[in-house]
Amino acid sequence: MRVAILADIHGNLPACEAVLEDIARSVAPDYIVAAGDLALRGAHPRETVDLLFDRCDSVLMGNTDCYLAGNYLGGAYREKDHWKTELLRWTRDQLGGALLEKLGALPFSARYSPRKGQDLFVCHANPRNLEESLDPTLDDVAVRRFFSHLDAAACAFGHLHFPYRRRVGRMLIADVASAGIPRDGDLRPAYGVFTFTPKGWRVQIRRVRYPVRKATQALTARRVPGGPLLVHKLVEARYRHHNALMEAARRHSGLPPPGPVLRPPPGAASRAAASPMDSRPSPEVDPASLPTDMDGTVTGAAPLPPDALNDFEG
């Protein structure tokens, strides 16, 4: 059994299309799952949600899907005069009543059972709720409290926008996100492929190329509320505590060895050559300097051999 999982798409239609194309061309899974946060923060919420419902076998609920549907609100989306409130209103208008109702009724999780006692559990943030991130810097005690009740051999999730893999006891867990707004220093969309083998579940984190400039230009052209900040976050592609996250993820054998991921934009060559553990802040990136097709990227988007995955065995 092979399950492809994309999460945190956030209305980024060009990225979503690239991921689904790679899944169809190179992965040939038995199931495709969209694990929440489908629409909010992107320029094409309706088109993205329609595509996911059309192409995925399971579509799960994320925290921002709840915000849109009116199930509850979190963070700055509760503040009356915040730009995120305007973004929420704009996105709801784009989706329309029928899709909002559909988002509000999405399931929390999905299970895939290739064999008794070997379930793969898929959710948005963690097996307990939609809001708490499974940060790779968390110690074993903190992580185990999210999984103590879960009867599964593997678990896939997103929410943090930082892909990595880890063991919790005998369970294999992986953050497979983000397909829409990566925050691990790599602009390429990420998604996960879980494959069940005679030795148990294996997972591969895959990256694909996509037209980043098309996504940033759409945020401006469609006058998405908060557009300049959303563009900045999209091309910044990292958190302030990036180095700590990266070090922890590598410690869990969750990421491949350091290597080239993106051709640097003009004027950023000196910074781009720095080590991934460099403590200096990332350079500001001008969206206009991004290539239209990302042909300069180094991508792992090759067909998956059944027995030679870039994986972390579970």
Q: Write the secondary structure of 183-242 as one string of H (helix), E (strand) and C (coil).
A: CECCCCCEEEEEEEECCEEEEEEEECCCCHHHHHHHHHHCCCCCHHHHHHHHHHCECCCH
Q: Which domains does the chain have, with CATH numbers?
A: 2-253 (3.60.21.10)
> What distances in angstroms separate CA 287 from CA 78, 115, 134, 213, 236, one per listed residue?
30, 47, 30, 6, 10
Give the residue from 166, 171, 135 showing the smallest Cα distance to 151.
Answer: 171
pLDDT (tens, 9 = 90+) of the chain, 314 residues, equals: 999 999 999 999 999 999 999 999 999 999 999 999 999 999 999 999 999 999 999 999 999 999 999 999 998 898 888 999 999 999 999 999 999 999 999 999 999 999 999 999 999 999 999 999 999 999 999 999 999 999 999 999 999 999 999 999 999 999 999 999 999 999 999 999 999 999 999 999 999 999 999 999 999 999 999 999 999 999 999 999 898 999 999 888 655 555 554 544 555 443 333 333 333 333 444 545 443 333 222 233 333 333 323 333 33
Phi and psi torsions of 201, nearest 5°: -75, 140
d(CA 142, CA 38): 28
| Reported pTM | 0.82
Bridge partners of 154, per DSSP, are 120, 172
